[in-house]
Structure 1
Amino acid sequence: MEYALGAVAALVTIVLVARFAPKLGVAAPLILIVVGTLFSFVPFAPSIEVDPEWILVGVLPPLLYSAAVNVPLMDFRRNLKAITGLSVVLVILSTAVSGYLLYLIFPDLNLAAAFALGAVISPPDAVAATSIGKRVGLPGRLVTMLEGESLVNDASALVLLRSAIAATAGAVSFWGVVGDFLFAVVVAIGVGIVIGFATVAVRSHLDNPVLTTSISFAVPFIAYLPAEELGASGVLSVVVAGLVTGHRSATRFTAQDRISERLNWRTVQFILENGVFLLIGTEVATLVAEVENDDLGVGSAVLIGLLMTVVLIVVRFAFMVPLIGILRRDARRARVRGVYLDQALDRLRDVPAQDARTRERASRIGRMLARRRADVDSLTAEGLGWRGGVVLGWAGMRGVVTLAAAQTLPRDLPYRPQLILVAVTVAIATLLLQGGTLPALVSRLGITGASAERERADLAALLDEISSTGLATVSDTALEGEEPVDPAILERVRSESVLRAAAVRDTGEDGGPHDVYVRLRRRVIEAERAALIEARSLGVHRSRSLTDAEHLLDQEEARLFRRDSRH
């Protein structure tokens, strides 16, 4: 009964905080940490201590999956160099620097154990990035980098942690760590790809949104568990499976499947991510009590945690200097490459199409060149300067992975309670300091995403593009093999494609005006969706516009399905 009451109280608290946080001008996760911390010190409050396995296995996979399915694969690919640098190189660097300092600070701590805690506090958290970073109106490329980093760096940190813990017993060598890391990454990617394709194939044949969404709740664990059993990174496998699922959902799932999955996963993500922040606060009193019973006091552990926070921020900003330099160099090279691509496209247009085979080959080459030209446009239009580097440097909040991983440290490790409190201090300090001031920093630097006018213009251009393709499928005379269509119905089909007008009002028996209208409208939507998928493959339009257009098509197709099922 206590657990049930606690769960209800937590859920009500989460909803209330999320409802009133915007009016206070403070992100809900930050308020939840404070509320949880205050609750933990209330007299007679129950001591809350959650097994870290519940977080690492039960909470982290669905959180990572729900974030990964919403990251456009096109954006992830375009920013792969930056994401790899932030999620792998920076994690290794942060682990080495912070771990060595901890080794110097704690006299009885060996180097391997110090690196283990360094790996714990090194990765910025996926929950923190998605809960705070996206709310401050950052440009799309910065958001993609932060999301991509937070999705992948957990795998890097947890693999390093596992190797460091093994090294505390003298079980591994340097090259053993390198081999373990590469094995964990390669196998995880393979498992994630296989699970992603396999589950999408199975779900696409269920033909029932409830069943499809139900299976989607199991996909994160289906990807996580086999990878872990093979000794690979389960979290990376989940991310890859999520990216594959999100990319293929546009072609393999129905509109009803996508709408149902989006709504249900949004609810799950909201509860889990905010629940984790509340949980962070409720465990503070327990940790403080454990440290008070040891030689090194609470104050010393908190000060060390604050020192590590400063060190991690400095290391992150130092890493931004070469990273931004490399990205700006890539943007300059992209401008030069763009000129050559334009010349190649011009030459291709001048090549005479002699036969069908030549036209098909020219079409494939043209699509490849157009895709590369769109990549160039993305790199040059959203190039990163020093202001973007400052935001990336300040957006390194820690959270759920840091806390859960800290509690997996061996029980016989010297200073274990203090090390866990150090990790908790780093997590809370970065969330309150960096997370709390990030909106003000973004505003002060004048960094904004695309204007509302630009986004509307891009979305309108995309809708015009796919609508023209859809309308081309509507004959002026008849549906294939049937009697001529009422001109009024044809005009209505055309006008709804252009204006996205209100709900269908026609009714009638099978074969009547409503039936003809629905069949024509579905034909148009199918063609529009094919054109949208083609536009996505080329990458000419903004990812947000592509997503918004897909949602519009899904809503209209679902509306037609519901009305048609009643006739």
Structure 2
Amino acid sequence: MNASHLFELMIAMLPVIIALHYLAQRFGLPPAVSLLMGGAVMAFLPELPAFSPDPELMLVVFLPPLLMDGAWNISVRHLQRHMLGITSLAVGAVLFTTIVVAVVTHWLFPDLPWAACAALGAIVSPPDAVSARAVLQRVKLPRRLLMLLEGESLFNDASGLVLFRFAVAASVTGTFSAEQALQSFVLLAIGGAAVGAAVGAGWVIVARRLDDDYLVIAATLLVSWAAYILAEHFHFSGVIATVTAGMICGTYQHRIFSAAVRMRALSFWTMVIFLMEAAVFMLIGLSLRGVVDRAGGFSFVLHQMVGPALMVVLALLVARFAWIFLSDAVIWLCRRLGMRRYRRLGARSAVVLGWVGVRGVVTLALALSLPANFPARDFILVTAFAVILCTVLVQGTTLGLLIRWTGLQPPESDKARLSMSEAEATLMQAQLKVIQALAYDASGELVHPMLLEQYTRKAAAYCNYAGQEEALTPRIHAHFDLVLAAIGAARAELRRLHRVGDIDEHMMATLQKNLDLEELNAIALRS
């Protein structure tokens, strides 16, 4: 497929993505499921040539911005609080799963070298950040569980990549050193964190000096690729570098971004992430045809490879559950011995945590990057795709049912100390204090009576609303419904003035922007 055909394919994917997202919303399915299936169906259309993605290109194009978006919004305070659990999942679970999958694969194919079996384990062991986001954004989980899953998906690729590289090297050279692998992992992690911190600090310095909103947003997008590519250039972990840079940028954006930049950046990032996540699942589906063709055709795959591949999927699932329940048992034992610093997950949380190991683009990219002469390469490709299909289609569609079945609900401790209305009243009181202090001149004369009256009235309204949300909400809705109706009338009059030529395009755009801001504010206050 040449560059022109690839571009035409990407354009053709856009209406398909829109249609599949619409169908997913209508039937209550995770969008990732409909996109993956849609891509798989498109892959076998006779008019389309076989699609063979470049694995390195897929990783460098899609992974950094998607990791950046996840790290941008993660709570650093909660991440630190749950770092032990995240490390257990991102390193311990990946290593344990790799070993289990390697053992099962060697049992299925005794003639297959252990290094090749370990390579398959490393390919399928780390849950994918993109797939996890696609699944988790549709469910409501306790904060601790959510932090464990988000943190795991952001950091586990680094451990999976290290295991994969050493397994491939061992297959080629016939030697393996556990000590060297551990040293390499530590070096990759520390080096990646250092590069990410440097890139994030550089963004903070640059963003503070850029006056143009669009330059700030462009610099923010550049950070993800800069951190990833720079770290990979020095043979460090691009994943950890991107996550570190994203957390730094997310922490400082509240001090750097103006209101205009934040609104524009949010709209821009929302669209970029939407298109990238959709494209990832479509491309994974489109690559199915190439995987099947390389493995010897659909009939051969169905009769010779599907059974062993499903055994690997089952081993993958069992290994994750075993690690999570074993870790929870260790915590229980520590608490029995008097070490009460750590809390158990409990059976309900452990079941849900074990079920959310969804694989995606990283698994496919690693499988495709295997050398052409690698032992059992075709089987590894088919198995990698089977893991992606099973985890996305089965676990992704049943997660909501599992949460309802277990009765898992966010505990009261997850709630903030203040309700939304109480926080709004506190902010309004802070504004009122400033107005009261500056509403008078040096002689004590009131020079801003309207502002003082306005903020006094608003502060009283916010304080009155706090604690009486249910009783006052219908009146609030009716108030802002009237405001929105008035804005609608203003828009109609604005269009009339422009149509008859009373105002020009520049005035039309300025007044339209003012009405947009007024409408957004009314919608936010109404909700």
- From 131, 142, 165, give the equivalent of 2:168: 165
CA contact (8 A) 2:435 2:451 kept: no
1:63 aligns with 2:66: yes
Q: Which residue identity is paired with 1:426? A: V
Structure 1 pair 98/495, CA: closer, same or farther in 2 (3 Å)? farther
Instruction: Compute the displacement of 1:311 (Å).
Output: 0.7
Aligned-partner SS, 1:44: coil
- From 311, 316, 323, give the equivalent of 2:315: 311
Give, in whole Å, the separation in 1 of the partners of 2:294 and 2:36. 20
Structure 1 pair 470/413, CA: closer, same or farther in 2 (3 Å)? same
Give, in whole Å, the separation in 2 of the partners of 1:216 and 1:246. 10
1:85 aligns with 2:88: yes
Q: Which residue identity is paired with 1:137? A: K
Q: Which residue of 2 aligns with 1:130?
A: 133
Give, in whole Å, the separation in 2 of the partners of 1:187 and 1:479. 56
- From 354, 360, 363, give the equivalent of 1:402: 363
CA contact (8 A) 2:21 2:34 kept: no
Instruction: Compute the displacement of 1:101 (Å).
Output: 2.3
Q: Which residue of 2 aligns with 1:8?
A: 11
CA contact (8 A) 1:187 1:232 kept: yes
Deviations 1:318-339 (A, max 9, x none): 11113334567899999988xx
Q: Which residue of 1 aligns with 2:51?
A: 48
Give, in whole Å, the separation in 1 of the partners of 2:419 and 2:333. 27
CA contact (8 A) 1:288 1:298 kept: no
Aligned pairs for 1:433-452 within 5 A: 433-449=394-410
CA contact (8 A) 1:291 1:298 kept: no
1:391 aligns with 2:394: no
Q: Which residue of 1 aligns with 2:450?
A: 488
1:154 aligns with 2:157: yes
- From 234, 250, 256, give the equivalent of 1:230: 234
Structure 1 pair 487/206, CA: closer, same or farther in 2 (3 Å)? same
Give, in whole Å, the separation in 1 of the partners of 2:252 and 2:107. 50
Aligned-partner SS, 1:406: helix
- From 187, 193, 206, give the equivalent of 2:191: 187
Aligned-partner SS, 1:135: coil
Identity %: 33
Deviations 1:205-263 (A, max 9, x none): 21222111111111111101121122111011101111111111112222222222222
Give, in whole Å, the separation in 2 of the partners of 1:402 and 1:261. 30
Structure 1 pair 455/135, CA: closer, same or farther in 2 (3 Å)? farther
CA contact (8 A) 2:71 2:247 kept: yes
1:292 aligns with 2:254: no
Give unmatched runs, 5+ long, in structure 2: 463-475, 487-516, 522-527
Give, in whole Å, the separation in 1 of the partners of 2:84 and 2:309. 31
Figure out how many residues of one structure are paired with residues of the other and give that number: 466
Structure 1 pair 294/397, CA: closer, same or farther in 2 (3 Å)? closer
Give, in whole Å, the separation in 2 of the partners of 1:23 and 1:105. 42
Structure 1 pair 330/129, CA: closer, same or farther in 2 (3 Å)? farther
1:472 aligns with 2:476: no
TM-score by length of 1: 0.75
Aligned-partner SS, 1:218: helix
Give, in whole Å, the separation in 2 of the partners of 1:186 and 1:394. 30
Give, in whole Å, the separation in 1 of the partners of 2:331 and 2:78. 15
Aligned-partner SS, 1:123: coil
Q: Which residue of 2 aligns with 1:142?
A: 145
Deviations 1:518-548 (A, max 9, x none): xxxxxxxxxxxxxxxxxxxxxxxxxxxxxxx
Q: Which residue of 2 aligns with 1:429?
A: 390
CA contact (8 A) 2:33 2:392 kept: yes
Q: Which residue of 1 aligns with 2:114?
A: 111
Instruction: Compute the displacement of 1:60 (Å).
Output: 0.8
Give, in whole Å, the separation in 1 of the partners of 2:333 and 2:447. 58
CA contact (8 A) 2:441 2:447 kept: no
Instruction: Compute the displacement of 1:199 (Å).
Output: 0.7
Q: Which residue identity is paired with 1:210? A: Y
Instruction: Compute the displacement of 1:52 (Å).
Output: 0.4
Q: Which residue identity is paired with 2:72? A: V
- From 77, 99, 103, give the equivalent of 1:100: 103
Give, in whole Å, the separation in 2 of the partners of 1:203 and 1:331. 47
Bigger shift: 253-262 or 320-329?
320-329
Instruction: Compute the displacement of 1:459 (Å).
Output: 1.9
Q: Which residue identity is paired with 1:60? A: L
Aligned-partner SS, 1:485: coil
Q: Which residue identity is paired with 1:212? A: V
CA contact (8 A) 1:39 1:282 kept: yes
Aligned pairs for 1:365-384 within 5 A: 384=345
Q: Which residue identity is paired with 1:12? A: P
Q: Which residue of 1 aligns with 2:201?
A: 197
Q: Which residue identity is paired with 1:66? A: D
Structure 1 pair 217/330, CA: closer, same or farther in 2 (3 Å)? farther
Q: Which residue identity is paired with 1:114? A: C
Instruction: Compute the displacement of 1:490 (Å).
Output: 0.9
CA contact (8 A) 1:296 1:418 kept: no
Aligned-partner SS, 2:436: coil
Bigger shift: 326-335 or 153-162?
326-335
Q: Which residue of 1 aligns with 2:268?
A: 264
Structure 1 pair 333/478, CA: closer, same or farther in 2 (3 Å)? farther
Q: Which residue of 1 aligns with 2:473?
A: none
Structure 1 pair 423/477, CA: closer, same or farther in 2 (3 Å)? closer
Bigger shift: 437-446 or 300-309?
300-309
Give, in whole Å, the separation in 2 of the partners of 1:281 and 1:185. 32
TM-score by length of 2: 0.81
Q: Which residue identity is paired with 1:246? A: G
Q: Which residue identity is paired with 2:311? A: L
Structure 1 pair 172/230, CA: closer, same or farther in 2 (3 Å)? farther
CA contact (8 A) 1:291 1:418 kept: yes
Q: Which residue identity is paired with 2:388? A: A
1:21 aligns with 2:13: no
